[in-house]
Structure 1
Amino acid sequence: MARPDNYFGEADASVDSEKALKAQHVFRDIEQHLKWGMRSSGNQVVVGVTGSGKTELRRHLESQTDSYVFNLDANNAYFSHDVSTIRDSSGRTKNAVAAILIREFAKRFSESRSSRAVNALKKAVDVSTDVLKRIPHAIDVTVPGATLKLGELLKPSAASMLQSSLDGLIGDVVAALRNADEAGCILIDDVEDVFPGISDNPLFLEGVARAVVDINEGGKERLHAVLFVKQGLWRSWYESPKEYSKVRSKIDFLTWDHDALVELIARRIAHQRGEEIGQSLDVERIWAKEFSWSGEFDTFTRYLTRYCVSGPRDMITLCNLAAGKPADNDPITKDHIKASLGSYSEEKVFNLNADFGDIYSKIHKFVDQVFQGAPAEMTGKELADLMENRALLDPHVNGEFKNENWYPAAKARLALTMYQIGVVGYKSTHGTVYAIEKPKVSSSELIAENMVCVHPAFRPHLNIG
């Protein structure tokens, strides 16, 4: 009997079981630098491409703490205000967002946990309610616990009162947690769903990031906040910052390399077979339970990982596709992987819109049209010329995309966009480098590269040899 479609587990961590996630988790260096546990400082904004494991990391952090966790994600969006048109400074935004987050954390903690901190947290919310009532229309007291109105809090007339309330609120909440020997966490994932319209407003994202930094500064070792951001959204903020320097040192990037992806599949094989995994992991031995290869193990596994654009999700998807090719649970070979590349590559191109469409509308169509039959390798300048000849100077392509915000009349800028979404990388002395490994590359740096290549994952669908 053939293996099921999801033999190596779910590619999307949001639907995987907690037990599976715990067994399959691959430690990343980013974890030891986060402000978490009893640390009073550390990184607080996690940036990663879609499929790089942001949600998996968020769920792993949650599973590793006994503290109360207030989650905001696609299933717990909470904010209903469309922030796309908000043009207030990130300083004003951060105070409004921080006040709402801390109040909601305190309310939910006090309602869901039996703790010595409960009464003190309820009192902190009540005190802040009394203060915020002095801001006209800023708070709706007709609902249980009262609800803050983001739009009203952002008005200049509310600034001093909001700051006073925020300072008192965070002080009271942290004191309540410390006196009860408790800790709490605020985790913000799927930020596009939590704050509708944020994809069109990188300045508001800056305000949210600064709110997270302020909460952590006041929270010390008792209250943590971590924000997870897609790399495309981060890039739009990075390119048009106002106060980016105030949070730069708190940002870290979720990256993956060959060894980590191979370990990921080994852990999933072990979990599938019910094996206990100790401190040491014999990766090659475990792979041999499902795969068969000739030659070096490293050469075989690199054939797989070279097709991974965004890290773990791609690795799991490709392995699951290949697992369906052999009959009767026969070992998976290179031929089975090769037979899966057509459908995998098509899916990768179409999924560009799912991954980056919020920032680069219809980006999958652009890649499909511009890169069909393109050279697999070229110089950085040749890539820029390709953007000019096949996009900017082509009436059909230019006519379809000229009104898109991401489509400027600059061939170097378009070339960089292709790097940012993972379609191209550049060759270095240590191998080919893509955005998942090095997100910060400038247009001039990319154009100056002697060898730029289209990612192998996209080549089959784009008829690139």
Structure 2
Amino acid sequence: MARSEIYFGHPDASISVDEELAAQHVFRDIENRLKWDKRDSGIQVVVGIKGSGKTDLRRYMESRGNPYKFNLDGEHAYLAQDVSGIEETSGRIKNAIAALLLQEFAHRVGDSSKSNAAKALAKAFEASTSVLKRIPNAVDLQVPGVTVRLGELVRPDATPILQGAVNQLITDVVKALSGSGRHGAILIDDVEDVFPGIDHNPLFLEGVVRAVAEINNRGRNNLHALLFVKHGLWRAWFETQKEYDKVSHVIDFLTWDHASLVSLIAKRIARRHEIDDHGHFDAEELWAKEFTWGDERLDDFAHYCTQYCSSGPRDMIKLCNLAGVEAGSDLIGRSHIEAILGGYSDEKVNGLNSDFGDTYPGVNGFVTHVFHGAPARMTGNDLAQLINERALLVPDVHRQYRDKRWYAYATKEGLAKTMYQVGVVGFESPSGVTYAIEKPNISTADLLSKNVVCVHPAFRPNLSII
């Protein structure tokens, strides 16, 4: 039977159903390092590029431990208030965000159940609302329900009342949960939708991260808060941060390598063929049910596939789905992958702006200006010079980007680093070529010192790079 466009599953984990996620999740060590379940410390902020599996990881963690949970994401942006103009210290922002998160957790869980814990949380919400009303204009009484104005909470004169409200809230919430047998969970994804304008105010993210750390520190193993952040937004904060050292120990990065991508497809084939692997499977046996690699070894054929995946799992699933449609009911081979690479590459270049446009608006056009017809391999210094000659020194290109913050204040060396951050280039090492999906952070000096910098194969067909 011919394969559909989602034969290997949805590239977007937000669309998948819970039982699919549990069966297809590729376990890595980060799951055991997150602050969750009975752990009272651990990683609390997960950074990853779009398509690297942040939502999949969030939903997988939700399925473990049966928590009282409160989700904030693009579809549940209950706190949505423009934060682009809030320029208070991250300490004041921390207190305000902690109050909002704890209030909404108590409110939502309190309304969702008739358990003793939920009743106690409902009382905690009512008590904290009474306290916050003592801050002038902080609570909007003109709309149904309770809406707290974030801008009023961060005012310096609100600090004493706000701090008292946070202290009482965390005490009441932890007390409500401690005897229930279930922990609480606050999970924040798509932070740029939850807090509109944060991409123009990266220091606000520092306050959000500090609020998450404060809730986790005082919630111990009764209450967990996890934050999932796009790499571009994290980078913008890191380059302007003031109190990063206070929270760096709770931040980690979502990475993928060749082996984990091979496992990803193997698990999806097992699911498709209703094979229960019980946590153990033979990747070659499973791949052979859908792919053919002739006289090659599976690892060589799989490397041919994974080399086109700059964003990790989303790309791998998309590539296999497209090749599957091309193959129809036949086993998928190299010829089918080659046949779809042109369209796939067009999507990759055009998709750069949807993936990274919040932080680097117009980056797809910039990549086209710089790399069209360029060499596939060059030195790190040659990359910086290429950017200089094709962008900074070209009046038309310079005018197009000079009003964009990521470009306006950057050097050719800094822009070379940006090209690595968005996955367009990587560097060669004794173990192979390394891209941002495997090693998210590298210093500008290290990148420029590389003898071989490569344009990612996923972008080469669109950019006419041979």
* 1:204 matches 2:204: yes
1:179, distance to aligned residue in structure 2 (A): 2.6
Q: 1:356 maps to what in 2?
A: 356
**Secondary structure of the corresponding residue to residue 229 of structure 1:** strand
Contact 1:103–1:125 under 8 Å retained in 2: yes
* 1:257 matches 2:257: yes
Letter of the aligned partner of 1:132 in structure 2? L
**Secondary structure of the corresponding residue to residue 459 of structure 1:** coil
| 1:206-233 Cα shifts (integer Å, max 9, x gaps) | 1111110001011100000000000010
Q: 1:440 maps to what in 2?
A: 441
Q: 1:215 maps to what in 2?
A: 215
1:409, distance to aligned residue in structure 2 (A): 4.7
| 1:259-286 Cα shifts (integer Å, max 9, x gaps) | 1100100111111112112121111000
Q: 1:460 maps to what in 2?
A: 461
**Separation in 1, partners of 2:267, 2:416:** 37
Q: 1:296 maps to what in 2?
A: 297
| 1:341-386 Cα shifts (integer Å, max 9, x gaps) | 1111110000000000011111101111210000000000000000
Higher mean C-alpha displacement, 223-232 vs 75-84:
75-84
Residues 116-195 of structure 1 correspond to what in structure 2 (within 5 A)?
116-141=116-141, 146-195=146-195
**Separation in 2, partners of 1:435, 1:227:** 20
Q: 2:60 maps to what in 1?
A: 60
Q: Which 4+ residue blocks in structure 1 deviate beyond 6 angstroms?
A: none
Letter of the aligned partner of 2:298 in structure 1? F
Q: 1:224 maps to what in 2?
A: 224
Letter of the aligned partner of 2:94 in structure 1? K
1:144, distance to aligned residue in structure 2 (A): 6.0
* 1:278 matches 2:273: no
Q: 1:404 maps to what in 2?
A: 404
TM-score (norm 2): 0.98
1:145, distance to aligned residue in structure 2 (A): 5.5
Contact 1:117–1:182 under 8 Å retained in 2: no
Instruction: Provide the aligned length of Structure 1 versus Structure 2.
Output: 464
Q: 2:313 maps to what in 1?
A: 312
Q: 1:114 maps to what in 2?
A: 114
Q: 1:326 maps to what in 2?
A: 327
**Secondary structure of the corresponding residue to residue 265 of structure 1:** helix
**Secondary structure of the corresponding residue to residue 259 of structure 1:** helix
| 1:261-317 Cα shifts (integer Å, max 9, x gaps) | 001001111111121121211110000000001211100000000110010000000
Q: 1:28 maps to what in 2?
A: 28
Q: 1:70 maps to what in 2?
A: 70
Contact 1:425–1:433 under 8 Å retained in 2: yes
**Separation in 2, partners of 1:392, 1:305:** 33
Letter of the aligned partner of 1:382 in structure 2? D
Q: 1:79 maps to what in 2?
A: 79
**Secondary structure of the corresponding residue to residue 461 of structure 2:** helix
Letter of the aligned partner of 2:269 in structure 1? I
Percent of pairs with identical residues? 57
TM-score (norm 1): 0.98
Gaps of 5+ in 2: none
**Separation in 2, partners of 1:145, 1:168:** 21
**Secondary structure of the corresponding residue to residue 71 of structure 2:** strand
**Separation in 2, partners of 1:217, 1:325:** 52
**Separation in 1, partners of 2:306, 2:286:** 17
CA RMSD of aligned residues (A): 1.2
Q: 2:4 maps to what in 1?
A: 4
Contact 2:425–2:455 under 8 Å retained in 1: yes
Gaps of 5+ in 1: none
Letter of the aligned partner of 2:174 in structure 1? V
**Secondary structure of the corresponding residue to residue 130 of structure 2:** helix
**Separation in 2, partners of 1:464, 1:430:** 24
